[in-house]
């Protein structure tokens, strides 16, 4: 995978399973129209955002090496980003939320390298390089915000999803793709929108991932900062949307103080947001994040933590009070009085301590699952993990002894002890038996003929989280998307238009001054009468060259477009205003 990106010391720390999402940027694939779209959005953004964005935005544009005139090259960005401890990689549209957040935990920005169509210049539901590169990248130059983003990723990638979450992710990904793709049928878009809507309305109790995704949306994507009366923009979704960044400043959008209640406010990715949250400062974001993290199974563990993992039907980990970590797909928990007394995984399972797999306890050893009692022995106040070697011997928990252990919940373990493993503090964390039988009432949970029985030691579950404890324990390079970004073959008309855009770009960049801009205008009017953006670029050159006659012809053409296509009117006027303002100030 390393050939997909130019590595550096930050990217080198990425685990293999994240590299599967990286794709080459293929900078040469950006057309001259793509470059013009970037330039228009960025010029308009910088002009408007200089008044309404947090001060870190404009400073960050300079620090992260993002040019207003050209789509950023990821490799060039990385050479500058590494000075603030970050890096960037290209991906294909939306990636799974856990992976997206895990990238953040490694100080890496995930950038969807495609760019929106000219037809969707103001807003696209699909992630694109304008949103990621011009929205996310500049703000991370602020150290406090960058640390919030990293910490969010670190906590967020441990959030437990539900089985429905992944279904919703695939549906949203598909919707974003076909809404951005040219030539998509309205009926297909409507069908995809309905599927997303139906899923959203039938998600049941929101998972941890659904809740923390809300926090991410209302801060990282659509956050405001300052006061309710005078907020500034810092969310990437607003910074990269020339339509919504203006609309969000109006009274039509309700402004609410940012607090933990935002966790329970859902959002619709396909529509402008009717309300936004305002944080007083970046430090407050971290306070709310920690407040939410305190409610996660990552920190609370217990029966609810195991049940969340079972509902997710995905690879997860529980950590016991001894520090022993059990990673697998959890499918059963036996409980009594609201406490788990036995848990079971299905299929490949690995045991670890402090995120490092225990020697001899990988998925080859536990390929058919792992089950163990949890809690204290019946009638004994001292937990096994707190017993000294003398205590263990007194209770017959000793190598080569045959024991009958009965736990408080009714789980019974009978067998001959082979050996045990201890943690760094000397606490016993695992006991291995042969000729072992494990029962709960009349149910047999483990039989002697199944081989060695490894019993985890722990009086309670202190943590439960998504993913494995040791990333090397499992083959995680398994991601397959059900949909890929659509790139249709360009028509001859489109290719001809790109040539005209390229000629104007070459003229502006002094690569070819022999081009007749009057002739370009004539061809544009004749063959592409509704294309307004190139006419804007031609007008800029005419103004710079004080060519009044050419300027007049272009303005007449733009007026004609506004008559035929009123929806382009505001875009045209905004482009002209920026040029006129720059010409006067210049």
Given a cut of 60, whether residue 586 has pLDDT beyond it is no
Greater pLDDT, 491 or 234 = 234
The CA distance from 399 to 308, in Å, is: 36
**Beta-strand pair 402-406/428-440:** unpaired
DSSP string, 255-324: EEE-SGGGGG----TTS--SEEEEESSHHHHHHHHHHHHTTSHHHH-HHHHHHHHHHHTS-EEEEETTSE
The CA distance from 92 to 239, in Å, is: 21
Joined together, the tokens standing for residue 236 give 């990437």
Q: How far is CA 246 from the centre of its chain?
A: 25
Sheet holding 224-226, edge to edge: 231-233, 224-226, 275-279, 254-257
Kindly state the average pLDDT of the residues 314-327: 97
Predicted confidence band of residue 177 (pLDDT cuts 50, 70, 90) = confident
Greater pLDDT, 135 or 347 = 347
Strand-pair partners of 438? 413, 446
Considering the entire predicted model, what is its pTM? 0.86
Predicted confidence band of residue 534 (pLDDT cuts 50, 70, 90) = very high
**Beta-strand pair 231-233/443-446:** unpaired
Kindly state the average pLDDT of the residues 517-524: 95
The CA distance from 412 to 445, in Å, is: 10
Given a cut of 70, whether residue 585 has pLDDT beyond it is no
The CA distance from 540 to 291, in Å, is: 51
The number of residues in the chain equals 586
Residue 97: name the closest of 208, 209, 214 by CA: 209
Task: Burial-class residue 104 by CB neighbours within 10 Å (0-12, 13-18, 19+).
Answer: buried
Given a cut of 50, whether residue 530 has pLDDT beyond it is yes
Given a cut of 70, whether residue 1 has pLDDT beyond it is no
Most confident of 28-42, 191-205, 284-298, 468-482: 284-298
Joined together, the tokens standing for residue 60 give 């960050």
The CA distance from 223 to 229, in Å, is: 15
Query: What is the average pLDDT value for the chain, to the nearest integer?
Result: 90
Given a cut of 80, whether residue 584 has pLDDT beyond it is no
Strand-pair partners of 339? 336
Cβ–Cβ < 8 Å for 244, 233: no
Predicted confidence band of residue 246 (pLDDT cuts 50, 70, 90) = confident
Q: What is the pLDDT of residues 408-454, one digit of tens each?
A: 999 999 999 999 999 988 889 999 999 999 999 999 999 999 999 99
Joined together, the tokens standing for residue 471 give 């990333």
Q: What is the pLDDT of residues 464-489, one digit of tens each?
A: 999 999 999 998 876 555 555 555 57
DSSP string, 461-489: EEEEEES-SSGGGS-------S-----PP
Q: What is the pLDDT of residues 548-559, one digit of tens each?
A: 999 999 999 999
Residue 316: name the closest of 352, 365, 264, 341 by CA: 352
How many Cβ atoms from other residues are within 10 Å of residue 531's Cβ? Answer: 19
Task: Burial-class residue 300 by CB neighbours within 10 Å (0-12, 13-18, 19+).
Answer: middle
């Amino acid at each position: 995978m390393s050939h997909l990106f130019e590595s550096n010391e930050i990217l080198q720390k990425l685990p293999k399973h994240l590299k599967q999402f990286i794709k080459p940027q293929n900078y040469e694939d950006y057309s001259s129209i793509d470059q013009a779209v970037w330039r228009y959005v960025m010029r308009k953004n910088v002009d408007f955002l200089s008044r309404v964005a947090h001060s870190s935005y404009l400073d960050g544009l300079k620090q992260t090496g993002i040019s207003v005139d050209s789509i950023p090259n990821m490799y060039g960005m990385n050479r500058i980003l590494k000075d603030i401890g970050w890096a960037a990689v290209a991906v294909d549209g939306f990636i799974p939320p856990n992976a997206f957040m895990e990238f953040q935990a490694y100080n890496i920005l995930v950038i969807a390298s495609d760019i929106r169509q000219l037809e969707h210049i103001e807003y696209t539901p699909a992630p694109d390089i304008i949103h990621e590169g011009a929205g996310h990248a500049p703000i991370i130059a602020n150290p406090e915000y960058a640390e919030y983003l990293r910490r969010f990723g670190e906590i967020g990638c441990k959030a437990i999803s539900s089985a429905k979450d992944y279904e919703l992710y695939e549906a949203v990904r598909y919707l974003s793709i076909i809404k951005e793709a040219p030539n998509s049928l309205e009926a297909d878009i409507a069908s995809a929108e309905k599927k997303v809507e139906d899923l959203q309305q039938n998600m049941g109790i929101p998972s941890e991932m659904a809740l923390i995704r809300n926090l991410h949306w209302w801060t990282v994507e659509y956050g405001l900062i300052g006061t309710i009366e005078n907020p500034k923009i810092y969310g990437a979704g607003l910074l990269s949307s020339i339509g919504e960044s203006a609309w969000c400043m109006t009274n039509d959008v309700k402004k609410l103080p940012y607090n933990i209640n935002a966790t329970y406010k859902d959002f619709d990715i396909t529509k402008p947001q009717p309300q936004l949250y305002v944080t007083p400062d970046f430090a407050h974001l971290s306070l709310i994040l920690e407040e939410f993290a305190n409610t996660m199974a990552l920190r609370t563990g217990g029966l609810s933590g195991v049940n969340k993992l079972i509902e997710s039907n995905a690879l997860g980990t529980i950590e016991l009070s001894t520090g022993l970590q059990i990673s697998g797909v959890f499918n059963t928990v036996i409980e009594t009085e609201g406490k788990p007394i036995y848990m079971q995984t299905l299929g490949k399972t690995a045991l670890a301590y402090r995120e490092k797999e225990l020697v001899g306890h990988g998925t080859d050893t536990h390929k058919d699952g792992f089950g163990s009692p949890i809690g204290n022995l019946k009638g004994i106040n001292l937990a096994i993990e707190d017993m000294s070697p003398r205590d263990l011997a007194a209770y017959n928990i000793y190598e080569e002894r045959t024991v009958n252990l009965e736990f408080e919940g009714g789980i019974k373990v009978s067998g001959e002890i082979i050996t045990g493993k201890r943690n760094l503090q000397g606490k016993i964390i695992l006991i291995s038996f042969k000729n072992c039988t494990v029962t709960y009432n009349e149910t047999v949970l483990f039989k002697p003929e199944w081989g060695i029985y490894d019993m985890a030691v722990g009086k309670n579950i202190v943590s439960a989280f998504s993913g494995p404890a040791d990333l090397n324990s499992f083959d995680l390079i398994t991601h397959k998307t059900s949909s890929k970004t659509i790139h249709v073959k360009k028509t001859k008309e489109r290719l001809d238009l790109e040539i005209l855009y390229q000629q104007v770009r070459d003229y502006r960049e002094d690569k070819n001054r022999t081009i007749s801009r009057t002739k370009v205008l004539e061809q544009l009017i004749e063959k592409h009468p509704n294309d307004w953006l190139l006419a804007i670029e031609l007008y800029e050159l005419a103004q710079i060259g004080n060519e009044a006659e050419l300027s007049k012809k272009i303005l007449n053409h733009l007026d004609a477009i506004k008559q035929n296509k009123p929806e382009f009117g505001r875009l045209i006027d905004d482009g002209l205003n920026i040029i006129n303002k720059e010409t006067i100030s210049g």
